Amino acid sequence: MERKENENGIEFTYKPSNSVFSDFQLKIIPNDYNLEITEEKNQSIAEFITRTFPEKEITFEIKNKVDFADSGVNLEKITCPHCRREIEFEKWQEEMAKAEESDFIEMEFVTPCCKKGTSLNNLIYDSESGFSKYQITIINPDFDKVNQQELVSHIEKQTGLKMKLVWAQY
Ligand SMILES: [Zn+2]
pTM for this model (two decimals): 0.94
Domains in the chain, ordered, with CATH?
Answer: 2-72+129-169 (3.30.70), 78-125 (no CATH)
Measured in angstroms, how far is the CA atom of residue 120 from the centroid of ligand 1? Answer: 13
Measured in angstroms, how far is the CA atom of residue 83 from the centroid of ligand 1? Answer: 4
Per-residue confidence in pLDDT tens, the chain, 170 aa = 999 999 999 999 999 999 999 999 999 999 999 999 999 999 999 999 999 999 999 999 999 999 999 999 999 999 999 999 999 999 999 999 999 999 999 999 999 999 999 999 999 999 999 999 999 999 999 888 889 999 999 999 988 999 999 999 99
Please give the pLDDT value at position 41. 95
Q: Which residues surround ligand 1, an ion (CB under 5 A)?
A: 80, 82-83, 111, 113-114
Please give the pLDDT value at position 3. 97
Q: What are phi and psi for residue 140, nearest 5 degrees?
A: 60, 50
User: ∠ CA 158-161-164 to the nearest 5 degrees?
Assistant: 105
Alpha helices in 27-147 (DSSP H): 39-52, 89-101
Q: Do 112 and 86 meet the contact criterion of CB atoms below 8 Å apart?
A: no
Measured in angstroms, how far is the CA atom of residue 131 from the centroid of ligand 1? Answer: 21
For residue 82, the one-letter residue type is H
Measured in angstroms, how far is the CA atom of residue 113 from the centroid of ligand 1? Answer: 4
**Cα 116 from Cα 111, distance rounded (Å):** 5
Cα torsion through 40, 164, 29, 94, rounded to 10: -160
Of the candidates 69, 45, 56, 73, the residue with the CA atom closest to the CA atom of residue 145: 56
Q: Do 117 and 110 meet the contact criterion of CB atoms below 8 Å apart?
A: yes
For the chain, how far is it from start to end, CA to CA, in angstroms?
25
Measured in angstroms, how far is the CA atom of residue 106 from the centroid of ligand 1? Answer: 19
Q: Is 32 exposed, middle or buried (0-12, 13-18, 19+ CB in 10 A)?
A: middle
Measured in angstroms, how far is the CA atom of residue 110 from the centroid of ligand 1? Answer: 9
Q: Is 90 exposed, middle or buried (0-12, 13-18, 19+ CB in 10 A)?
A: exposed
Please give the pLDDT value at position 105. 93
